[in-house]
Structure 1
Amino acid sequence: MEKGTSSWASSGSSYEVFLNFRGVDTRHGFTDFLYHGMVGAGILVFRDSESLHVGEEIGAELLQAIENFKIYIPIFSANYASSCWCLRELANMVECTLKSNGNKEILPIFLDVEPVDVKLKTNLYNQTLSKRQKTLCSEAESWQKALIAVGKIKGWNLKKDEREASDVNSGMMVVEADGDGD
């Protein structure tokens, strides 16, 4: 393989599900349960710590690879909006879904946040995005639109550490059912 190319970008179509999450909030808890539960059920899941290798550059290649996924699962947490990278991925997922003619789906999980937070009707994400706009971040408007759009999608509204295992199992059943319709 040539230097600068990565196996996950070139084989992005082999994955079925893309997990989008703020690592410091959920990586070693809920996201870990969800990832291992789906992998155990035979679902091909992309998660950065397993799918990106040390030394690989994260950037445009990852955003391009997102186009190859069928199901996107953003896991919204308290600090999600503080990650420019999470927001970039989310905006890309929304764009890919809109262009897919119904062939791609976003299944949001609201972990210790409410859909109204994601729809920017409270200060939780609003304050962070306001700071981004003040620093002249040109992407902030697309991030706002993506958050509002995904906040309107029915998803799972979960409280951290509350029934995580059963919530993960019920979520996997939905992902498996969606994946079976190919």
Structure 2
Amino acid sequence: MSSSSSSSSSSSSSSEEKWPFDVFINFRGEDVRYGFVADLHKCLLHRHINAYIDSKDLRRGDEIKSALTKAIMELRIAVLVFSENYASSTWCLDELVKVMECRRLKKQRVLPVFYKVEPGVIREQRESYGEALDSHEKKWRNDSERVKKWRQALTKAGNLSSWHYDNGDDTKFIESIVKDISTIIQRAPLNVAKYPVGLGSRVKYVKELLSMSSVDVRMIGIWGNGGIGKTTIAKAVYNSIADQFDGCGFLAHVRKTSSGPNSLVNLQNKLLSQILWKSNLVVSSVDEGANLIPGTLLQENSTCA
């Protein structure tokens, strides 16, 4: 898979959008509050990542629920900690529905953690999740739509790229999560002209060509005379979709920078470094890079799937 201070801001479009919280952690308190989640929260704060968790042991009332809903709507990244008894909490499930709704409507990043539970159990609502949902259906038989939303949200979340912990070293597992979150948060948007005329419609058109909901690989070319704003459009498109990917990269001025000695090799190394966050992958020749880049990206994608 793939930090900033509490005053950090990010942009998912060509205009700046402020994010009061870097990370929101959704979890079932009785399962993981005083162990895994407490340690994760502490490590995030230590890295100056503004992580928000619900600190109320007895969560009741519309006021608390309204505050949490507002926090979810304003967050940048949601971390969903799926533990064995997560689905027994209707509060967690309501938060989950809101998180997945914000992911769809506001393109927020959602990162599941499967803590001592298999992803398939969440996707298919088996074992403890199936028992909990069956119980909810009996209790909420007059509100079947609510239970339906819980099931749909669990299925969608269970299919996202994630971290999976079974047994092992909690510390190393938490460190890997914090490192990945730090990388995402540190991903600064590219500088785009503040008031570019007509940029929005062109970005929309390019994104339609990209067909983000498709599983196909798309290659889009922006053609035109020099100085008409091709790079500006490319930067704005990049800013608007970058947070939807675990890894991404932007190579500017390729024609100019590829003319010197070893310049293509340097570009290949830079691309791998930006997308995979790995410094141990080194391209020594253009031909090697031509084979290494697609092979490595395919391998990474199958690992995260």
TM over 0.5: yes
Residue matched to 2:92: 86
Residue matched to 1:158: 165
Q: Which amino acid aligns with 1:113?
A: V
Residue matched to 1:130: 134
What are structure 2's unaligned runs of at least 5 residues?
1-17, 189-305
Matched, 1:37 2:59: no
Q: TM (normalized to structure 1)? A: 0.84
**Count of aligned pairs:** 167
User: Which one of 21, 24, 44 corresponds to residue 15 of structure 1?
Assistant: 21
User: SS of the counterpart of 1:146?
Assistant: helix
TM-fit CA distance, 1:118: 0.7
User: Which one of 32, 35, 39 corresponds to residue 26 of structure 1?
Assistant: 32
User: Which one of 152, 161, 176 corresponds to residue 182 of structure 2?
Assistant: 176
Q: Which amino acid aligns with 1:151?
A: G
Residue matched to 2:151: 144
Q: Which amino acid aligns with 1:145?
A: Q
User: SS of the counterpart of 2:34?
Assistant: coil
- CA deviation digits over 1:71-126, x for unaligned, max 9? 000100011000000000001000000012x3x11110000101011102522201
User: Which one of 107, 113, 116 corresponds to residue 120 of structure 2?
Assistant: 116
TM-fit CA distance, 1:59: 1.4
User: SS of the counterpart of 1:108?
Assistant: strand
Decide which structure has the larger Cα Rg and report it. 2
User: Post-superposition, which runs of at least 4 consecutive aligned residues in structure 1 deviate over 6 A?
Assistant: none
Q: Which amino acid aligns with 1:157?
A: H
User: Which one of 93, 98, 103 corresponds to residue 97 of structure 1?
Assistant: 103
User: SS of the counterpart of 1:17?
Assistant: strand
Q: Which amino acid aligns with 1:109?
A: V
TM-fit CA distance, 1:20: 0.4
Alpha-carbon separation, structure 2, partners of 1:132 and 1:29: 27
Q: Which amino acid aligns with 2:67?
A: E
Higher relative contact order (CA 8 A, sep 6+): 1
Alpha-carbon separation, structure 1, partners of 2:62 and 2:45: 23
- CA deviation digits over 1:132-153, x for unaligned, max 9? 1122244111000000000001
Residue matched to 2:69: 63
Alpha-carbon separation, structure 1, partners of 2:163 and 2:97: 20
Q: Which amino acid aligns with 1:120?
A: E
Identity of aligned residues (%): 31
Alpha-carbon separation, structure 2, partners of 1:109 and 1:44: 19
Alpha-carbon separation, structure 1, partners of 2:67 and 2:177: 28
Query: For the Cα contact (< 8 Å) 2:125–2:133, is it kept in 1?
Result: no
Query: For the Cα contact (< 8 Å) 2:21–2:75, is it kept in 1?
Result: yes
